[in-house]
Structure 1
Amino acid sequence: MEKITKLLVIPLIVIFIAGWIWYLLDSGKGINQNESVSKLGTLSGFKVIDTEEIKELNGTAITYEHIKSGGKLIYIKNEDKERFFSINVKALPTDNTGIHHVIEHCVAKGGSLHYPIKNPLSEIKKNSMSQSIIAATNLDYVTYSASSYIEKDIYNIMDVMMDIIFFSNLTKEPRLFQAERGIYELNSQEEDVVFNGRVYSEMKGLQDVDIFLNRAINKSLFPDTAYRFEVGGIPEDIQVLTREQMINTYKSHYKPSNCYTIIYGKLDINHVLKLIDEKFYCHFSKNNEQIHDIAINQEAFRKPVDYIESYGILEEDKKLTYLTYNYVVSNILDSETIIGFRILDEILSEKITQLNTKLKDNGLGAMIETRLNISGFQPVYTIKVYDTGEENKARIQEYIDRAFSDIYEERLDKKIIQQTINKWKKRDNYKMLSSINMINYNNIICQSWLHGGDPFLYIREYEYLESIEKKVEQGYFENLIKKYIMDNQHRSIVTLKPIVGLVEKQIEKERKKLANYKSSLTPQHLQALIKQTKTLNEWKNKRNTKEELAFIPSLTLDDIKIEMDEIPTQVKELENTTVLYHPIKVDKIAEMSLYFDTQNVPWDKIGYVKLLCDLLGKLETEKYSDEKIKKHTKNYSWIAVPRYYRMSDSNLYRLKVQVHLTTDEVKKDMFELAAEILSNTIFSNRESIKDIIVNQKMEYEMSFKEYDYGSTLAYNQVASYGEYISKIWGVSYYEFLKKLEQNFDENFLDIQENLKNINQKVFNQNNMTISFVGNKNEYGQFAKSISGLIKNINHTCYSVENHLYKSDSINKGIIIPMDTYYIVKGGDFTEDGYVFNPKMKVLENILNKEYMKKIANEGGAYGASISINRDGQIIFNVDRGSNIKEAMKAIDEVTLFIEKFRATDKEMEKYIINTVPHILLRDQFKSHIFKYTNADEMYFSNYFIKDFINECKEIMDTTDEDIRNFAEMIKGVLQQNHFCVVGGEKHIIENKENFYAIVYFNQR
């Protein structure tokens, strides 16, 4: 009988234990996740594919697959409280309609089964501490991602985001497609018909040389694959996309088997997997409709391709031609080759400089850039030649071929190879010490994972570095040159030719097309179009009801923590010099910065501050030739950069130069080198100085051609300190460089004298502050070694200059070759007697969430925003619009919105919660090693962590009445009537009565 009892009891015990384990797994309590996945293998419908430690991400990566749906998921488990979540939908274009881009917009804006509201991502952000809820269309996938320090917050966002992805309302609401792709619009019979939509406006505004070049390169090299298409869409093709095409593509692509999910940080993975399984993935099966198969791998060419594209400029200048020489390098799954080639590109920097000199000496081009583009399945190595002519392409190719042939025959310098590999190893150490930017890592993981490769190929770089290092003696890098450049037929020459008035011709063509369309409509059709336009605009401006918003999960004030990570700082003094010591444990790496104030530099000589930053470390000194200097600065990372710091007591900005030094360990000769460069640089090499001036000028010219430079240009015209910024980073500095180049030879002695004088004034012990990061022993070594630098640097006292700066208040229209516009309008509330109140940041948040979309809609723009800053600046910004008059009107009507603003206590609580991260800016304080620069900035600005914390506490009791009370302040700023519009000639001329002056922006 006893034996029988035992036989009955044992199974019961086993059943009880098994049930208890299942309960623990299901509830996420009491059992280690790694143990559960390794012993049981499945969890909430997911099976474990792999588990491995990823030291670069400070944790363990567990790869899952959902058994029923085929959904793929990686959980990177560690102790990081910055939780991250992303879903990446594999999405290869089959044409230029931007179909995946339009779907991304509709998914983000359109609501879903369980959240049937407009703009669900915007609404969840209002109820969140997250600053980074992102939807983005990449070359071959669409990413939806978010991060938050609050665990409950990331679960809320995850729930909403997955619902809009898998159960989107884009299949039900036709106005969503109309608003995002765009439709023909007509406000009255007297007006012109326009085509307007967010995606259409966004892509119409991408008038960027680099974008044109990348598009042309892809078309030249990958004519039979998905990469020949523009994934974002080309405006004229976007117009022909149909809603039926969009819906069919959404249904075929937005399913778990085509999605790659990444979850990161300290969270309850059991809860997450259960949520995903029960609410989303269980509704899908692997045998869903298959996605249209499209090629991603281009067969190698038998001979190189010659490809020509055009872009628009304002004035005739044949030298604005760009030539690129492009070579396909293996494929993205061949990680060792790709990493090796990236290292090779760095090793070749000196050789490319020599090639650049030869081309310049022979009148074939002004500057060369090289890069390895690893977007897409087949990476491309590109040699880009600026300011040349189409007739030069064959001769330049000869120079390139000869240069690489010589490198191959002569072999590469083994010391330079080893130095470069050692640099890459140091970078690997930095990854462990610096913050983990998961959106970047998300993209790195997707590069290989989406194409069937190991997700962590490009995160585990160190093992490839060791493998490559062993092959150096066998000619590893020379063989890369031979295979992928010298013998490679899968290559192209792309010519981007400038054509005067091309953009204007395209605008005129579109205008005629729209005019013809309007003339083809009957009176009845015109009335129908006017009605449709009105209905759509009403729908776009309609706000969600309180009942609809109740669906969105939210945080409460009790959920948030007003905290910032302390940055340890000790203010010390060494030999009459202030030292900011940050006692952070950093093994094998020493970080320090020398900060120099520029208040002793005359206002009209400020440009020399930036020029010195570009020159120092590249010229000879009293002790070293320029070649030796370059070799030394390769051993010790050396960066000199101008930085602005806001002075909290005066609302002014002060310019300092930060000289940043990095090394494996504190060494006396590093400080001796720094002192030598700062104090004893010789400014006598005419050729080198002129080359640097010309190259810097060209880099600015290239930045002017970037599609969004118009926004920067307008901002610097309006912001009170805009001219100060422009003298270092903008058009004023460019004009300074241009003037130096034009009269260089006859004025060289003056230039040389100015460089000497400003160098002595800036790099001076009397205006130097030193910042050091390291442990106690490293600081002791630093304190002993730094005295040589302090003693050897200039000690002369100079009088302080009064840097009064004020931007030109003339309302300007600035014409650049594009078919959209940027508006910046703003002013300074301190001029009307107001002082900064932290509750203004709640106002900023409310306006960005609730009103700026009205400005964007009225102005036919991609987006609009407002910033209210501690320095007194209030800036309205409209991005890539089509109707200046309506946008300006909507900006001026913002005070009506503020005056009428009403919100319940619960609604105000949401606005307050989402304002807190705007003040704490925790993302800027995450890095374990570089965050000390933020501590330095706080020291110079006299604004510390306690001040940010106090601001957050002050906003906690913000009421809707507080918001209404700011209406008069905003009205006063708008009445200052300070604005700038940068855009296409048609937009500016049609609104010429608004401008005091209209100018053409000279991009050269």
Structure 2
Amino acid sequence: MWCRGGSVDTLGSPCLFVLIVYVKWIGKRREEKRSKAVMERAALVRCLPCSSVLCRTYLHSHSHACRRSSIPSFPTYSRPSSSFPRRRSSRLLPSSSSPPHFRTSSNRFSSFSPRAVLSPSPSSSPSPPPAFPQVEDEVALKLGFQKVSEEFIPECKSKAVLFRHIKTGAQVMSVSNDDENKVFGIVFRTPPNDSTGIPHILEHSVLCGSRKYPLKEPFVELLKGSLHTFLNAFTYPDRTCYPVASTNSKDFYNLVDVYLDAVFFPRCVEDFQIFQQEGWHFELNDPSEDITYKGVVFNEMKGVYSQPDNILGRASQQALFPDTTYGVDSGGDPRVIPKLTFEEFKEFHRKYYHPSNSRIWFYGNDDPKERLRILSEYLDLFDSSLAPEESRIEPQTLFSKPVRIVETYPAGEGGDLKKKHMVCLNWLLSDKPLDLETELAIGFLNHLLLGTPASPLRKILLESGLGDAIVGGGVEDELLQPQFSIGMKGVSEDDIHKVEELVTSTLQKLAEEGFDTDAIEASMNTIEFSLRENNTGSFPRGLSLMLQSIGKWIYDMNPFEPLKYEKPLQDLKSRIAKEGPKSVFSPLIEKFILNNPHKVTVEMQPDPEKAAREEATEKDILQKVKTSMTTEDLAELTRATHELRLKQETPDPPEALKTVPSLSLRDIPKEPSRVPTEVGDINGVKVLQHDLFTNDVLYTEIVFNMNSLKQELLPLVPLFCQSLLEMGTKDLTFVQLNQLIGRKTGGISVYPFTSSVRGKEDPCSHMVVRGKAMAGCIEDLYDLVNSVLQDVQFTDQQRFKQFVSQSRARMENRLRGSGHGIAAARMDAKLNAAGWMSEKMGGLSYLEFLRTLEERVDQDWVDISSSLEEIRKSIFSKQGCLVNVTADRKNLANAEKVVSKFVDLLPTRSPIAATNRNFTLPLTNEAIVIPTQVNYVGKAANIYDVGYQLNGSAYVISKYISNTWLWDRVRVSGGAYGGFCDFDTHSGVFSFLSYRDPNLLKTLDVYDGTGDFLRELQIDDDTLTKAIIGTIGDVDAYQLPDAKGYSSMLRYLLGITEEERQRRREEILSTSLKDFKNFTDAMEAVKNKGVVVAVASPEDVDAANKDHPDFFQVKKAL
């Protein structure tokens, strides 16, 4: 994955300053919540495996802060639609109150809302810091470390100590607290000089075996058999990061040791075949065939360079930083990657992967002395080096005048290409890092401009009708110098300059007139709430803090400062209150944007021939390579190809496998963790209560049954959800409603949830309304939810038309970047009713509906508005409603009267018969054709239909298949970025999927070989134990309190009892080789009866249909 200037989102963006992270996250998460992630929930929940793993990958990953959607076992890289895809490579793809009459706040700006305060402000009497275990100076010195400084950080309730390794100068931040989810990370500055992708390829390669762990891939062994809560690696434009996390201390230090040995003593600097596998190589199976390029990173980046938003982001960054390391692509340009030599690769590791050039982070409740002890074993083996000087990042000198560039992107043939242009305005804000006060103010300004649907710059651009969606995303601060980017896609060629003028004129007007006081209060409350709640979903909090700290630390600045937001936040609030918001923000707009000559305008033009032209160019280069070779050369290349494949497909010897540390089954709890749940009734409505410590925040879900909704209305549901949150009421404009939500709550979201229920024909189909607020605003929260559900008016035709265009643009973007999700949803729609429903609300069918609807809005608005109202009347009712509440005992009690009042205000209706949902798409193989250089290949079948009876061992087996057979054959040998399988135990659908895959039919052959793989499989007790432990790690994934309450609610909806959870756990723990053998029949059923869906290039689909006539029914999507 790539981050432009540094996800979770997925991941939790690293940044120069923590406040800007949250300022950016809030708006972007809200956009995800109302758009892409919401639709992916509906479309992809079908693919999620079992109740426990479901809770890990879906139920708690979508907490209130709106974590990104993912397909289990293979995280996707989502990015809010309003911004570029970030350029971070990842080895893996990878939630006494006021009266209810909605008064707006006073125009007198005397203070910010105190409602979001979760921790004492500086004016409060500080409580003494808790005592955490520390390392005495003498002990540190004996271990080779000198204490540089230490601070207690009240914002994260942690004691942070900065050490320096005396011999090498390595810097170590040791953060101690009571968080059981322990985190380690080591980061190196790795600035590239060209676009061969050397940092990215090295990031992949160092985890392919090391001195102590001489396996092909210790990383995969850890994936199979550890209790990790995070295990991955990232490549940024100027640094490479290797983090791990676990709640089990023994497991945690096992992970740390494997990672330290990997980065300092990797086999890849000695083994040319690792470089070939992960980077690039020529492949020739037979001298009579054509030579091709292969390599995991090479194919990953081919996928990246097929996506218009990625191309735009890269062009913008490289044009902004032409004279620095940011002017090249650290991930690698597929046209340049084959120029990288093994010698250059080895030298890069020698130069930069040295303790002197590292930043090392520990976090959690483990022993800080043990941290230094394990580090000393590695660091003491090195002397000091000049790497810190050689890796120093030089700033870009500012331009004296603006620059304009024109690029092209691969577009599909057909359609009105004239309306598929993109334009983005980019500014480099400073020639050096900004001071903390200015950074915070700019981050706040960014949220005011773009952070919510009501933000003026975002609103005006979308309402202009000049484009389909926003690109750019505002402030990016994860590099040495911050930048600001904004633009639109889906723009007519004639309107390019109109977009530029609108951006400039809007900023000028805001500089002259300032921002609305309510908007400022709403933004501040939103930012404060998120900062103090510190809800990072499934992403470890310690890793989020690490990435924030690294954002300063990597540039030799103070690593403590990004962790301390309280004082700068209070200072900014005081300054705004004293000087007025206009005096604070208008000069920033003028200085850093309007009067800034370091401006780059990037125009992107659609080119329907670009993909084919680049493919032809690559083939021409390879043909010239082959022509230049002698017969002996071709024979040698063929031999090398087969030798590499043989190595890839040969299992590691048992003695090598035993070197990887692992837990035993004795370390695994025999019972699943249980969430306290009380089931009650308030005025005829079922209420679930979860008594958990939430730091004075109340989390709630209100769930409504969708079973009576007419099937023809299903595709309108996602737009209905967006309309509820982005249209106004009779008394409030949507801007006022949005601001009120921001001032009174931590956020509200609405989305559909659909799942099969094991043993039942009818699916579970609900509308979920989620919200959170401080204890003092519980009544405000439920009043606002009631207003959203019942008072919002579906009368704004032009806004609805914008929603349709934005959704269509997002779906088209998903086809290119997350084609595996589209394929998964499509297969599921062919195999069960719940999948059919979800695909109607978030798959290819939904995209086809949007394209038709976009043309209908002007002619049929009355009917569309009436349909939206019909959805509301069909769904929102006291009948079939369920309320879920997660808070501590006191706030649960306080919420009961509020919930009772809310329930009484819900409409009642006569019972309506459920609509027939027993629909599926035809069981035909489909190829969804798009302009791309890589494919997404899926195959699936319902194994319950052939007699398979669910056993917990299926979770172990499916995970093992993903991490062995598919990893080796689809990724390692096949060159795809990833291959995996998934078992939805609710529906019985077992599916195979690949990601950024250069193959099509070859990948299907691998899927079909799974039965033979299991039939011939022989595994020893140690391997089996690792597989079981790895599965338990998924089942017992770390959850924050809101996620626990949410997961428990979904188990209730799906009828999953605690007794069943215990039974499945026992079956997992007792999994045997016999269970693997028994699963063979199920895999043979997928082979013989499975349906295939591929999102692929026209060339590969044509070739497949030529080899197997009429194998695919072709649907052109772009």
Q: Same fold (TM over 0.5)?
A: yes
Deviation sequence 1:773-819 (CA, Å, 0-9, x none): 33444334322233443233221122211222424321112221111
Q: Could you say which residue in structure 2 is the equivalent of 1:21?
A: none
Structure 1 residues 71 and 950, CA gap change in structure 2 (3 angstroms): farther
Do 1:571 and 1:580's aligned partners in 2 also have CA atoms closer than 8 Å? yes
Do 1:182 and 1:239's aligned partners in 2 also have CA atoms closer than 8 Å? yes
Match of 2:992 among 876, 880, 885: 876
Q: Could you say which residue in structure 1 is the equivalent of 2:424?
A: 324
Cα shift at 1:360 = 6.9
Q: Could you say which residue in structure 2 is the equivalent of 1:592?
A: 700
Q: Could you say which residue in structure 2 is the equivalent of 1:417?
A: 520
| 1:917 partner amino acid | G
Q: Could you say which residue in structure 2 is the equivalent of 1:179?
A: 277
Q: SS state of the match for residue 227, structure 1?
A: helix
- The correspondence of residues 285-304 of structure 1 with structure 2, limited to 5 A, is 285-287=383-385, 292-293=390-391, 295-304=393-402
**What is the distance in 2 between the residues matched to 1:513 and 1:912?**
47
**What is the distance in 2 between the residues matched to 1:894 and 1:263?**
40
Q: Could you say which residue in structure 1 is the equivalent of 2:843?
A: 730
* 1:385 is aligned to 2:494: no
Structure 1 residues 166 and 676, CA gap change in structure 2 (3 angstroms): closer
Do 2:356 and 2:388's aligned partners in 1 also have CA atoms closer than 8 Å? no
Which is further off, 256-265 or 355-364? 355-364
- The correspondence of residues 902-941 of structure 1 with structure 2, limited to 5 A, is 902-920=1018-1036, 922-923=1037-1038, 926-941=1039-1054
| 1:897 partner amino acid | F
* 1:283 is aligned to 2:385: no
Do 1:253 and 1:291's aligned partners in 2 also have CA atoms closer than 8 Å? no
**What is the distance in 2 between the residues matched to 1:791 and 1:856?**
55
Q: Could you say which residue in structure 1 is the equivalent of 2:505?
A: 402
Q: Could you say which residue in structure 2 is the equivalent of 1:640?
A: 750
Cα shift at 1:959 = 1.8
Structure 1 residues 156 and 368, CA gap change in structure 2 (3 angstroms): closer
* 1:697 is aligned to 2:804: no
- The correspondence of residues 98-113 of structure 1 with structure 2, limited to 5 A, is 98-109=197-208, 111-113=209-211
Cα shift at 1:930 = 4.0
Match of 2:1077 among 949, 964, 988: 964
Q: Could you say which residue in structure 2 is the equivalent of 1:443?
A: 547
Q: Which has the higher contact order (CA 8 A, sep 6+)?
A: 2
| 2:482 partner amino acid | P
Match of 2:368 among 254, 262, 269: 269
Match of 1:543 among 651, 661, 665: 651
Q: Which runs of 5+ in 1 are unaligned?
A: 1-31
Q: Could you say which residue in structure 2 is the equivalent of 1:15?
A: none
Q: SS state of the match for residue 647, structure 1?
A: coil
Cα shift at 1:197 = 1.2
Q: How many residues align?
A: 965
Which is further off, 388-397 or 323-332? 388-397
Do 1:425 and 1:462's aligned partners in 2 also have CA atoms closer than 8 Å? no
Cα shift at 1:894 = 1.6
Cα shift at 1:417 = 1.7
Which is further off, 236-245 or 399-408? 399-408
Cα shift at 1:161 = 1.5
- The correspondence of residues 458-607 of structure 1 with structure 2, limited to 5 A, is 458-472=562-576, 473-474=578-579, 475-607=583-715
- The correspondence of residues 796-945 of structure 1 with structure 2, limited to 5 A, is 796-797=909-910, 798-852=912-966, 853-871=968-986, 872-920=988-1036, 922-923=1037-1038, 926-945=1039-1058
| 1:308 partner amino acid | V
Q: SS state of the match for residue 428, structure 1?
A: helix
Deviation sequence 1:54-92 (CA, Å, 0-9, x none): 234332111111100111111111222222211112111
Q: Which runs of 5+ in 2 are unaligned?
A: 1-130
| 1:384 partner amino acid | G
| 1:180 partner amino acid | E
Q: SS state of the match for residue 188, structure 1?
A: coil
Q: Could you say which residue in structure 2 is the equivalent of 1:154?
A: 252
Cα shift at 1:144 = 1.5
**What is the distance in 1 between the residues matched to 2:553 and 2:458?**
38
Q: SS state of the match for residue 1031, structure 2?
A: helix
Deviation sequence 1:8-45 (CA, Å, 0-9, x none): xxxxxxxxxxxxxxxxxxxxxxxx97564367663511
Deviation sequence 1:551-590 (CA, Å, 0-9, x none): 2222211122345443222111111111112223445433
**TM-score normalised by length of structure 2:** 0.83
Which is further off, 901-910 or 525-534? 901-910
**What is the distance in 1 between the residues matched to 2:462 and 2:1034?**
48
Q: SS state of the match for residue 563, structure 2?
A: coil
| 2:720 partner amino acid | L
Do 2:210 and 2:266's aligned partners in 1 also have CA atoms closer than 8 Å? yes
Deviation sequence 1:972-1000 (CA, Å, 0-9, x none): 12111311122112211111144544435
**What is the distance in 1 between the residues matched to 2:617 and 2:698?**
59
**What is the distance in 2 between the residues matched to 1:585 and 1:883?**
49
Structure 1 residues 842 and 506, CA gap change in structure 2 (3 angstroms): same
Match of 2:865 among 732, 743, 752: 752
Q: Could you say which residue in structure 2 is the equivalent of 1:764?
A: 877
Cα shift at 1:541 = 1.2
Structure possessing the higher radius of gyration over alpha carbons: 1
Q: Could you say which residue in structure 1 is the equivalent of 2:54?
A: none
Q: SS state of the match for residue 972, structure 1?
A: helix
Structure 1 residues 421 and 943, CA gap change in structure 2 (3 angstroms): same
Which is further off, 613-622 or 135-144? 613-622
Structure 1 residues 790 and 157, CA gap change in structure 2 (3 angstroms): closer
Structure 1 residues 837 and 219, CA gap change in structure 2 (3 angstroms): same
| 1:999 partner amino acid | V
Q: Could you say which residue in structure 2 is the equivalent of 1:251?
A: 350
**What is the distance in 2 between the residues matched to 1:90 and 1:957?**
45
Match of 2:445 among 324, 341, 344: 344
| 1:413 partner amino acid | D
Cα shift at 1:623 = 4.9
Q: Could you say which residue in structure 2 is the equivalent of 1:794?
A: 907
Match of 1:715 among 820, 824, 834: 824
**What is the distance in 1 between the residues matched to 2:1090 and 2:535?**
50
**What is the distance in 1 between the residues matched to 2:247 and 2:998?**
39
- The correspondence of residues 364-375 of structure 1 with structure 2, limited to 5 A, is 364-369=466-471, 370-375=473-478
Structure 1 residues 850 and 674, CA gap change in structure 2 (3 angstroms): closer
**What is the distance in 2 between the residues matched to 1:362 and 1:889?**
50
Cα shift at 1:432 = 7.3
Deviation sequence 1:615-664 (CA, Å, 0-9, x none): 11333434545454344333343221222344244386422111123333
| 1:816 partner amino acid | I
Q: SS state of the match for residue 867, structure 1?
A: strand
Q: Could you say which residue in structure 1 is the equivalent of 2:55?
A: none
Do 1:717 and 1:808's aligned partners in 2 also have CA atoms closer than 8 Å? no
Structure 1 residues 407 and 883, CA gap change in structure 2 (3 angstroms): closer
RMSD over equivalenced CA pairs, Å: 2.5
| 2:422 partner amino acid | Y
Which is further off, 195-204 or 737-746? 737-746
Structure 1 residues 584 and 159, CA gap change in structure 2 (3 angstroms): closer
* 1:223 is aligned to 2:223: no
Q: Could you say which residue in structure 1 is the equivalent of 2:772?
A: 662
**TM-score normalised by length of structure 1:** 0.92
Q: Could you say which residue in structure 2 is the equivalent of 1:650?
A: 760
Deviation sequence 1:207-250 (CA, Å, 0-9, x none): 22221111111111100111111111011211010000011110
Q: SS state of the match for residue 323, structure 2?
A: coil
Q: Could you say which residue in structure 1 is the equivalent of 2:90?
A: none
Match of 2:300 among 187, 202, 206: 202
Deviation sequence 1:380-402 (CA, Å, 0-9, x none): 11112122245544443333222
**What is the distance in 2 between the residues matched to 1:656 and 1:558?**
40
* 1:1002 is aligned to 2:1117: yes
